[in-house]
Amino acid sequence: MDLTNNLFNEFPPVTKEEWLTKIKKDLKGKAVEELHWKLGEVSVDPFPHLDDMKGVEAKPLFDRIGWEIGEDIESHDILQANHQALHSLECGVESLRFVLDENLGDHRMESLLEGIDLAIISTHFYEKNKNAQPKHNLEHFIHIAKKKGLDTRLLRGAVNWWNEDAVVLEDAFELVELAENKLPNFKVLPVNAHDYFDGADGLVQELANTIFKGEMWLSSLAEKNVHPATSNRYLFFSLSVGVNYFVEIAKLRALRLLWANVMKAWKAEDWQMPMIDAHLAPADQTEDMHQNMIRATTQAMSAVIGGANRLTVLPSDDFEGENTNFSRRIARNVQHILKMESHLDWVADPVAGSYYVEDLTRKLAAAAWAAFQKM
């Protein structure tokens, strides 16, 4: 048997119109449009076809070079946080995010990072305290890294903060300046989109708000003579991923199309898509741990297939406010299976060319772009 033959050549092509004729007959008078479903203002066709792809270049939107397995480390108790961080790294975590409730000095920063090889992981800090000082903490991080004999220009990571009012434009400018000089592989301009997450019905506005917030970084820093391409290099998106499998895949892909439009509007050249830091949406957790475990698997797949660069899977008992070692292990193993057994890190944009996802991606992007232009 000649396996090089394309078996589809044995069958004549069928147009969408021909299929619709058959569908209308089977519906016995019911309108085909009644089968469409809505994502807010976006009408989703339940029957995508090659004919819908005319004029669409269905090429991969990203090259798959893997993603980082992330985990949050609550850092109120520094010694306990360090112990948890070391254990998580031993269990396969590749990217730690230390959740801080206060600014750290040299001594506490050194204790937090004791025994951690900063050269082989990415290190993230999230300040949930009201008076966040990301530059202050980064300076201590740099000092500790140098004490470890490391070249800080090679270190990877990011800073983020809860209270956006705590960091004004001048602070952001100084963060970019610090990154340019000492931490060029750190992201210091977060676009936090978690507050915009409102499930499937709020997708369009979520995307519009996200790129609006990102563009605000570009325009604000441009006033300080920072080129948009430079700001873009230090920017990253932090967003929530919900339970609607294909919809969330399309959301992340649409974000890439939308941001390309923003950079095109700025006439930026030689830019790369900022990091997408995905977190499973806490709002989609139930009080059933086993159901949360199952949900986490498909949510994680949505994030990875959609093109997330970093992913944090919530432990199944996160709704209780505390996690057990077991729930943390299961959360990590979800990503291990997707990466080491399913090999999703080997594939560039796995859904590229899928009529359904391509159509949904572009409809979401078009609707969000229209909403963004009205903001």
The pLDDT tens digits for 121-130 are 999 999 998 8
What pLDDT does 77 receive? 96
pLDDT 10s digits, 171-204: 999 999 999 999 999 999 999 999 999 988 899 9
How does DSSP classify residue 265?
Answer: H
Residue 206 tokens, joined: 């979520």
User: pLDDT class for 294, splitting at 50, 70, 90?
Assistant: very high
Last residue of a domain, one of 170, 197, 222: 170
User: pLDDT class for 215, splitting at 50, 70, 90?
Assistant: very high
Residue 155 lies in a domain: yes
Q: Span 218-244, mean pLDDT?
A: 97
Residue 144 lies in a domain: yes
Residue 109 lies in a domain: yes
**Mean predicted lDDT score pLDDT of the chain:** 93
Last residue of a domain, one of 170, 201, 233: 170
- Domain co-membership, 249 together with 107: no
| CATH code, domain carrying 372 | 3.20.20.240
Conformational region of residue 66, where left means phi above 0, alpha means psi within -120 to 50, and beta covers everything else: left
Residue 46 lies in a domain: no
187: which strand partners?
Answer: 158
What pLDDT does 20 receive? 87
SS3 content of the chain, % helix, strand, coil (to 5): 50, 15, 35
- Domain co-membership, 166 together with 313: no
Last residue of a domain, one of 109, 135, 170: 170
Find the domain containing 220 and state its range: 188-375
- Domain co-membership, 119 together with 254: no
Residue 127 tokens, joined: 């300040």
What pLDDT does 2 receive? 57
- Domain co-membership, 131 together with 160: yes
Give the list of residues 6+ apart from residue 317 with CB closer than 8 angstroms, or none. 289, 292, 323, 324, 327
Residue 364 lies in a domain: yes
Residue 261 lies in a domain: yes
C-alpha 64/C-alpha 26 separation (Å) is 42
Q: Among positive and negative, which fits the CA dihedral 122, 190, 172, 262? A: positive
Q: How many domains does the chain have?
A: 2
Q: Span 52-79, mean pLDDT?
A: 88
- Domain co-membership, 137 together with 210: no
Give the list of residues 6+ apart from residue 173 with CB closer than 8 angstroms, or none. 221, 224, 226
Residue 206 lies in a domain: yes
Contacts by residues 114-117 (CB-CB < 8 Å, ≥ 24 positions apart): 114/82, 115/82, 115/86, 116/82, 116/85, 116/86, 116/89
C-alpha 309/C-alpha 307 separation (Å) is 6
pLDDT 10s digits, 316-366: 998 888 888 999 999 999 999 999 999 999 989 999 988 999 999 999 999
- Domain co-membership, 160 together with 197: no
Residue 62 lies in a domain: no
C-alpha 46/C-alpha 37 separation (Å) is 8
Helix, strand or coil for residue 190?
strand
User: pLDDT class for 9, splitting at 50, 70, 90?
Assistant: confident
- Domain co-membership, 313 together with 372: yes
Integer Rg of the chain from CA: 23
- Domain co-membership, 199 together with 262: yes
- Domain co-membership, 87 together with 120: yes
Question: pTM score > 0.85 for this model?
Answer: yes
- Domain co-membership, 110 together with 244: no
Q: Span 151-156, mean pLDDT?
A: 98
- Domain co-membership, 246 together with 335: yes
C-alpha 118/C-alpha 353 separation (Å) is 39
- Domain co-membership, 136 together with 266: no
